[in-house]
Amino acid sequence: MQRVSPSLGFPPEFPGPQRPEQPTSQSPAPPVPVIYESTELEQMSLRTFAAIHLRVPDSGIAWLDEMINRSRELDRSSG
């Protein structure tokens, strides 16, 4: 029995399934732009870094200490 190409088996108003496009050699752009903030990390003091990672509100920056306190309160209240 002779096989018929799928695109030839459908009438013109109902085209057959399309073949997937061949991948291009160019890599696609990431869905979210990646920004490496190396200058901010280089300017961060060790005290600030430790306060963030240890979650101890002793960075010397009022707004950061408040944020760490708030985070700890939310953890306590969530159980």
| Residue 5: inside a domain | no
Prediction pTM value: 0.48
Residue 3 inside a domain? The answer is: no
Is residue 74 over pLDDT 70? yes
Write down the pLDDT at residue 79. 72
Whether 47 maps to a domain, the answer reads yes
Residue 69, classed as helix, strand or coil, is: helix
- The DSSP line for 30-57 is PSS-----HHHHHHS-HHHHHHHHHT-S
Residue 30 within any structural domain of the chain: no
* pLDDT tens digits, 16-70: 666 666 655 566 666 776 666 666 667 888 999 899 999 999 999 999 999 999 9
54 falls within a domain: yes
Confidence at residue 44, expressed as pLDDT on a 0 to 100 scale: 85
> What is the C-alpha separation between 64 and 57, in angstroms, rounded?
7
Asked whether residue 42 is domain-assigned, the answer is yes
Q: Which residues constitute the domain of residue 72?
A: 36-79
Count CA atoms closer than 13 A to 8's CA, side-chain side.
4
Domain count, the chain: 1
